[in-house]
A and B are shown apart, each in its own frame.
Chain A
Amino acid sequence: MPDHGSAASPSSGDLARRSLLRFAVAGPVLGALPAFAQSAPKRGGRLTIGADADPIGLDPTTLAAFSSYDFTALLYSGLLRWNADMKVEPDLATCFEQPNDTTYVFKLRSGVKFHNGQVFDAEDVKYTFDRIRDPATASPNAAIFASIKAVTVIDPLTVRFELTAPNAAFLSYIATNPIGVIVPRGVADLNTKPVGTGPFIFESYQPNQVFTLKANPAYYEQGLPYLGEVAFRFFKDQASLTSALRSKAIDMTWFKDPKVSAQIVRTSPDLVSAPGKTTRTFPVWMNLKSGPLADVRVRRALSLATDRKACLETVLGGSGKVAAMVPESHVGGYDGVGEMPYYKTDIAAAKKLLAEAGHPGGIDLGDYICVAANPLDVACAQILQQQWAEAGIKVAIKPMETAPLITMWVKGEFPTLLSIALSWSPDPDAILSRIISTSASGKALGMADTQLDSMIIDARTLLDRTKRAAAYLDIQRRINDQAYVLDIYQYPLRWEAWWNYAKGYVPLAANIRTFVRTTWIDK
């Protein structure tokens, strides 16, 4: 199995501030690629990817569904992007400078064209971000870029962003496809006829069946992409997806279950699987507004009764880590072994806390709601049910359809406990702002910790990476001390697998397939 050269290195934010950052506008970023990729790439050919979900919309400004990211990643590009080590690098920008903590000036690539032939310039950047911030657009990214005060065109190849306050997450968002990608000004119907600057051009889409793209001959990275065509085929059933990969009906796919991935890769030495970094967490959300969980002692008892390691071993076969709020691949992410309050399993202490809280004979917490469509979630819920029972805490597992579960969770309309794994997010702030007591989601959960609120808000403004990491660890300790959310384990969003004749591909921790642009087929 090839080494992907992406050793556990932390994410973005290494960019020194207030300095002019100049990056070589290289053609293919072969330097970042593993050694095997450097044999002469072959041109043309078609890569077929097995996808587990259809896109919901293709206009990057109005979509929020993770299932669309796979397609926008190839169609569009932004000012910055993530490299294989999950560091931010320039893309449509050639460099940027930061004259002060709240101002960013981007220099743009010249000669870039959109798929419709329109020339890309600073006006498109301004148009994109103004469109995101216009309430009439209903962009889910509006809140993310709410800190932008103004986007000003200085000249066709220079654009200035002014923020209301220092925001350490800003560059991470700008680098994330599709959140920060640029759309052409004045082009309508991007949802059905997407037009971007990305390495591939939209060709056709038959829902539930196939989505095809062809190489963009005018793509700005010299020599890229190698592939002539990319096709996504949709398989909603995991068994079908497995069989399709095995029978080479598809060249590449990803799995939600590490055990399935390990099993399929064992069937042939020619299958490559990516180890995957931990990018998401599996939390148990608690209704803090009323009922037994409003009492911190009951919540701490629940945490003490939990054996996180056992969940990890049983559900994921060990491919993951114990979790706190922030996954390890983020700044200040929890490494799974460090000290966290109430993390050491202690049934006796849990029972004692319960007794103090007035439940000496144990407690019945009622329904524990989880996502029926995710077998990993249900399996973990069952193990937690057994573990908690030992401490006298009873729950009834109630697997539910995803759509109503999300509504329940967002509105805080669940009785006591609910689990939904968080998808990948570009920055720890995206995870933590969720529990700020003044936010809608924080209110829904019943958060009311003003000290924690200011800790989260302050951490946003820390542009120094080390300080920021320390701040996030403090925040996570406080969350676990008060047991506001019970995080169980962290794991990769997807486990990727492909046949070794597809070369030059690098999986990203974010599970966004931008490296299809450097992939070629050598059958």
Chain B
Amino acid sequence: MIRMVATRLALTLPILLGVSIVAFVLMRTLPGDFVQASAGTTAVSEEVLQTARHNLGLDRPLWRQYATWIGGAVTGDLGTSFATHRPVVGEIFPRLAVTGELTLIAGLMAMTLGVATGLASARLRGTTDWVVRGFNSLLLAVPNFVIATLIVLLFGLYFPEVGIFNYVAFATDPRGNLASLLLPGISLALTVSVTISENTRAAVLEVASQDYVMVARAKGLRSSTVLLHYLVRNALTPVITVTGLQLAALLGGSILIETIFTIPGMGQYLFDSISNRDYPAIQAIVLVAATIVLLMNVVVDIAYARVDARVSYE
């Protein structure tokens, strides 16, 4: 087990290096650069633009820019943001915590909702199944940013007394913090819950038709015992895979949700940095996000082994 985790962690290093190169090259091959973008429609002479690029080190060969950056990154220096002129490290970790919290809240909501509706749908069948599946189809068709915008407009225009933009840090006011993440969490969770719900339903139905479940019933076990120990536990493996994969979707979804609800997380930071072509910030965010997704995958693999006795890494 420990050897497996160590191997998996060691394998993430070359992947991260690859990701950092791709992110670095990709951003720079995109048309438009920070200097020109920040000048906007103001007429600025080419010499001034060149000097500004020189001051940011953008006129050096690409490999040298990369070497400088990765050298810094290894020692924990992710560079200085072009837009704010401040170190990226100081900006990214507090934001990571905010996004992490939002993702966690949304993930828990999606899990609860998804597993509950999936189970209900598979066990109760009939009308419940129809309602759940209809609801799921509808949610699958509506992207999370549409739900978020509708929530913002609904509360902003008709219930202005409900403050929807009152984000406070957890350290300052834990209750206010959780309250402020409730609506963003829901808009992020709804779409993701559909995938979990559908997978739970399918898994439970499949497990239910297995011989060992029929045997368990036939020998007269209580239906709650059958449900918990035979059905849910065995149906959980695919659900965990899906949930793990959906965490990446939640991280991606948070870009727009954070922008709409003005939550100072990584997503909003990425959105702004891309528009501004703030390379150091984009590279840092991509690197950190890739690290998280890779670590999540390792965690999912470990979770398999815990849940499914057939999976063993020894």
Whether B33 pairs with A135 at a CB distance below 8 angstroms is no
Residue A121, interface by CB 8 Å: no
Query: Which residue from chain B places its CB closest to the CB of A434 in the assembled complex?
Result: B43
Whether A209 pairs with B40 at a CB distance below 8 angstroms is no
Whether B261 pairs with A208 at a CB distance below 8 angstroms is no
Whether A138 pairs with B32 at a CB distance below 8 angstroms is no
Given A249-B163, A403-B277, A236 and B39 touching (CB < 8 A)?
Answer: no
Whole-angstrom distance between the alpha carbons of A64 and B276 in the complex? Answer: 13
Within 8 A of A (CB), among B252-308: 259-262, 264, 268-269, 271-272, 275-277
Whether B86 pairs with A192 at a CB distance below 8 angstroms is yes
Given A64-B39, A209-B262, A423-B40, A247 and B45 touching (CB < 8 A)?
Answer: no
Whether A65 pairs with B39 at a CB distance below 8 angstroms is yes
Which of B1-9, B60-68, B152-160 is found at the contact surface with chain A? Answer: B152-160
Whether A54 pairs with B32 at a CB distance below 8 angstroms is no
Whether B44 pairs with A143 at a CB distance below 8 angstroms is yes
Whole-angstrom distance between the alpha carbons of A267 and B153 in the complex? Answer: 13
Residue A244, interface by CB 8 Å: yes
Residue B84, interface by CB 8 Å: yes
Query: Which residue from chain B places its CB closest to the CB of A235 in the assembled complex?
Result: B262
Whether A247 pairs with B30 at a CB distance below 8 angstroms is no
> Of the candidates A207, A243, A403, A430, which one forms a contact with B156 in the assembled complex, judged by CB atoms under 8 Å apart?
A243
Of A207, A239, A420, A421, the most chain B CB neighbours within 10 A belong to A207
Which of B46-54, B191-199, B232-240 is found at the contact surface with chain A? Answer: B46-54
Q: Which residues of A contact B30 (CB under 8 A)?
A: 403-404
Shortest CB-to-CB span from B98 to chain A, Å, is 10
Residue B101, interface by CB 8 Å: no
Within 8 A of A (CB), among B141-178: 149, 152-153, 155-157, 160-167
Whole-angstrom distance between the alpha carbons of A431 and B167 in the complex? Answer: 42
Whole-angstrom distance between the alpha carbons of A142 and B39 in the complex? Answer: 13
Whether A247 pairs with B39 at a CB distance below 8 angstroms is no
Given A237-B260, A422-B41, A433-B43, A243 and B157 touching (CB < 8 A)?
Answer: yes
Residue B137, interface by CB 8 Å: no
Whole-angstrom distance between the alpha carbons of A253 and B37 in the complex? Answer: 24
Which of A31-39, A406-414, A466-474 is found at the contact surface with chain B? Answer: A406-414
Within 8 A of B (CB), among A220-243: 233-237, 239-240, 242-243
Shortest CB-to-CB span from A498 to chain B, Å, is 15
Residue A166, interface by CB 8 Å: no
Shortest CB-to-CB span from A56 to chain B, Å, is 5
Whole-angstrom distance between the alpha carbons of A207 and B37 in the complex? Answer: 18
Of B40, B149, B162, B260, the most chain A CB neighbours within 10 A belong to B40
Interface size on A, residues (CB 8 A): 60
Given A239-B260, A247-B164, A403 and B45 touching (CB < 8 A)?
Answer: no
> Of the candidates A66, A402, A420, A434, which one forms a contact with B37 in the assembled complex, judged by CB atoms under 8 Å apart?
A402
Whole-angstrom distance between the alpha carbons of A406 and B40 in the complex? Answer: 7
Whole-angstrom distance between the alpha carbons of A474 and B272 in the complex? Answer: 42
Whole-angstrom distance between the alpha carbons of A402 and B268 in the complex? Answer: 18
Whether A242 pairs with B156 at a CB distance below 8 angstroms is yes
Shortest CB-to-CB span from B65 to chain A, Å, is 18
Mark contacts of A185-225 with chain B using CB atoms, 8 A cut-off: 1 yes-contact digit, 0 otherwise. Answer: 00001011000000000000111110000000000000000
> Of the candidates A240, A242, A247, A434, which one forms a contact with B262 in the assembled complex, judged by CB atoms under 8 Å apart?
A240
Whole-angstrom distance between the alpha carbons of A440 and B40 in the complex? Answer: 15
Q: Which residues of B contact A (CB under 8 A)?
A: 30-33, 36-49, 51-52, 54-55, 81, 83-86, 91, 149, 152-153, 155-157, 160-167, 259-262, 264, 268-269, 271-272, 275-277
Q: A56-B83, A247-B156 are in contact. List 4 more A-B contacts (CB 8 A).
A: A235-B262, A406-B32, A430-B43, A440-B46
A-B contact pairs, 13 of them (CB 8 A): A54-B83, A135-B51, A140-B48, A143-B45, A236-B272, A240-B156, A242-B156, A247-B163, A403-B276, A406-B39, A423-B40, A430-B43, A440-B46
Question: Which 5 residue pairs across A and B have the least CB separation, nearest first?
Answer: A243-B156, A403-B32, A404-B31, A138-B51, A247-B160
